[in-house]
Amino acid sequence: MVDVSPIIHTRQPGKGSLRALDAANFFLADVRDGLGPYLAIYLLTTQHWAPQDIGIAMSVMGIATVATQTPAGALVDRTRYKRLFSVVASLLIASAALLTISFPTYGIILGGQAAMGVAAAWFTPAVAAITLGIVGPKKLDGRVGRNETFNHAGNVFAALLAGLIGYYLSPAGIFVLLAGMSLCSSLSVWSIKESDIDHQLARGCDDDDTASESADKPSGWRAILGNRSILFFALACVLFHFANAAMLPLLGQRLAKGIDAGSSSAYMSACIIVAQVVMIPVSYWAGRLAPSGRKRLLMIGFLVLPIRGVLYTMTSDPVLLVAIQILDGVGAGIFGVLSILVVSDLTRGSGLFNTTQGAIATAVGLGSSLSNAFAGSVVQRSSYNTAFLILAGIAVVAVGVLWAFVPETSTKST
């Protein structure tokens, strides 16, 4: 860890702010993802775009998010206007969603996707920072688990509602849903009392830190970049997501072989919903169990990924393939909670909690993007089973890096 001995104090935020934080996590679930998969359906069925143009539009948001994650994390560390910027980001996504269906020209849609990507990069570090600033490091474990629980519940709610709107009304209605959830998230964030947020704690400083400019000097960055534990944790995360990112798209392609488009879409929706439903209790319990030790929980989350990859090669039954997504819910649920807590542990006292989060998220995003291209080339030259097994092998390497080079970071477990 960073060489500091922090004094951990217990904060007593208002119940209204805690309830508002619950609501913000629920409504931000699909706001920060932009309901991306539904854009392809809308552009294909309603606007009749060519597949190549759809692919470009789909990639713009991801590129914009990856490009702005590190600056977004640095801005979260520096600013005291976290609520205001969060509201602006939510309104930007709502505006882009409505413009997409109101003026569906090539330039407007690509511009809207870029705006969504920039806004989406803000939310992950901002929510983590606001949470840390409200509850403090002592209660962060359970609170992050609760955040992720509400986030996954919001994902299930949005997926079900979007499916109903798209089926019974119109694909364009899904973007109205996104705008509505964006507005609700804005109201939720603004309902958090500013006085309940300690901005020094929110950036990973101690209560007694005077917030001098020294926390932002290059020496702080050197303390982070020179820390082997942080670098190896980042490497483990990149390998994990490189192995994980392509598995669901490959599964979707495999499910589509031999069955009609409607059935393959239904199975894909089932895969997403099954995983999200499993993430709800897993996230809650990960937060509850995290004080007893981070590493062993993370090992479970990492270990289910290679098992999942191997299991995909052992059956072609769509029902069983959907059932295997339970493991995705376990792995993602644990990772979503523990990754934030480990970064908080490793950067405590440095004032670079959110900057480090953003930098790791950038690396992970690049790894995820390369994963799909890599897996696609393997399938082109060999088979789906070969791709799943290679990805499972990479996941085993991620487990090895985590086990050998990343220490237990929770002081409560020692």
pLDDT at 213: 45
Q: Please give the residue that has the higher pLDDT: either 93 or 210.
A: 93
First-last CA distance in the chain: 14
pLDDT at residue 348 in the model: 82
196 and 63 assigned to the same domain: yes
Q: How many domains does the chain have?
A: 2
Residue 304 counted as domain residue: yes
Q: Is the pTM of this model over 0.75?
A: yes
Are 61 and 180 part of one and the same domain? yes
Residue 261 lies in a domain: yes
Q: Is residue 39 part of a domain?
A: yes
Which among 202, 233, 259 is the end of a domain? 202
Distance CA 31, CA 402 (A): 31
- Which of 202, 224, 258 is a domain's end point? 202
Average pLDDT over residues 139-149: 89
414 in any annotated domain? no
Determine contact, residues 122/246, Cβ cutoff 8 Å: no
Region 165-182: mean pLDDT is: 84
The tens digit of pLDDT for each residue in 65-100 reads 888 988 998 899 889 999 999 999 999 999 999 998
Q: Is the same domain home to 175 and 235?
A: no
Percent of the chain at pLDDT exceeding 70: 86
Of the pLDDT bands very low, low, confident and very high (cuts 50, 70, 90), residue 412 is low
Q: CA dist 253 to 54, 159, 324, 383, 395, Å?
A: 17, 20, 16, 12, 21
Which stretch of 69-73, 186-190, 409-413 has the lowest confidence by average pLDDT?
A: 409-413
CA distances (Å), 13 to each of 238, 261, 349, in order?
A: 35, 50, 21
Do 147 and 49 have their domain in common? Answer: yes
pLDDT of the residue at 219:
45
Q: Is the pLDDT of residue 6 over 60?
A: no
**Section 344-354 average pLDDT:** 83
List the domain range (segments joined by +) for residue 391.
209-408
Q: Is 180 found in the same domain as 232? A: no
Q: Which two tokens stand for residue 262?
A: 């409607």
Q: What is the mean pLDDT of the chain?
A: 84
Q: Among residues 96, 86, 40, which one has the least CA distance to residue 64?
A: 96
Task: Inform me whether the pLDDT recorded for 56 exceeds 60.
Answer: yes
- Out of 181, 202, 223, a domain closes at 202
Q: Which of 44-58, 154-168, 291-305 has the lowest mean pLDDT?
A: 44-58
Q: Residues 48, 194: one domain?
A: yes
**SS3 of the chain:** CCCCCCCCCCCCCCHHHHHHHHHHHHHHHHHCCCCHHHHHHHHHHCCCCCHHHHHHHHHHHHHHHHHHHHHHHHHHHHCCCHHHHHHHHHHHHHHHHHHHHHCCCHHHHHHHHHHHHHHHHHHHHHHHHHHHHHHCHHHHHHHHHHHHHHHHHHHHHHHHHHHHHHHHCCHHHHHHHHHHHHHHHHHHHHCCCHHHCCHHHHCCCCCCCCCCHHHHCHHHHHHHHCCHHHHHHHHHHHHHHHHHHCHHHHHHHHHHCCCCHHHHHHHHHHHHHHHHHHHHHHHHHHHHHHHHCHHHHHHHHHHHHHHHHHHHCCCCCHHHHHHHHHHHHHHHHHHHHHHHHHHHHHHCCCCCHHHHHHHHHHHHHHHHHHHHHHHHHHHHHCCHHHHHHHHHHHHHHHHHHHHHHCCCCCHHHC
d(C-alpha 6, C-alpha 25), whole Å: 28
Instruction: Answer yes or no: is 379 within a domain.
Output: yes
pLDDT tens for 229-273 read 999 999 999 999 999 988 888 887 777 666 654 565 667 678 888
**Choice between 295 and 362, residue whose per-residue pLDDT is larger:** 295
| Number of neighbouring beta carbons within 10 Å of residue 238 | 21
Residues 341 and 217 in one domain: yes
* HSE-up (13 A, CA, CB side) for residue 100: 34
Residues 190 and 217 in one domain: no
Q: Are residues 189 and 279 in the same domain?
A: no
pLDDT of residue 34 exceeding 70: no
Question: Residue 281: which of 138, 156, 140, 409 has the closest Cα?
Answer: 156
* Alpha-carbon span 218 to 296, nearest angstrom: 33
Residues 65 and 98 in one domain: yes
What was the pLDDT predicted at 263?
Answer: 61
**Domain assignment present for 58:** yes
Report yes or no on 117 lying in a domain.
Answer: yes
Q: Give the pLDDT of residue 272.
A: 80
Cα separation, 313 vs 250, whole angstroms: 12
Q: What is the CATH number of the domain that holds 269?
A: 1.20.1250.20
Please determine, for residue 41, whether its predicted confidence score (pLDDT) is greater than 90.
no
| Residue 221 sits in the same domain as residue 193 | no
- What is the residue type of 289? L
Question: Are 173 and 298 within one domain?
Answer: no
* pLDDT higher than threshold 50 for residue 371: yes
Chain segment 101-142, per-residue pLDDT in tens: 899 898 999 999 899 889 988 998 999 999 999 998 888 888
Q: Is residue 54 part of a domain?
A: yes
Q: How many CB atoms lie within 10 A of CB 384?
A: 18
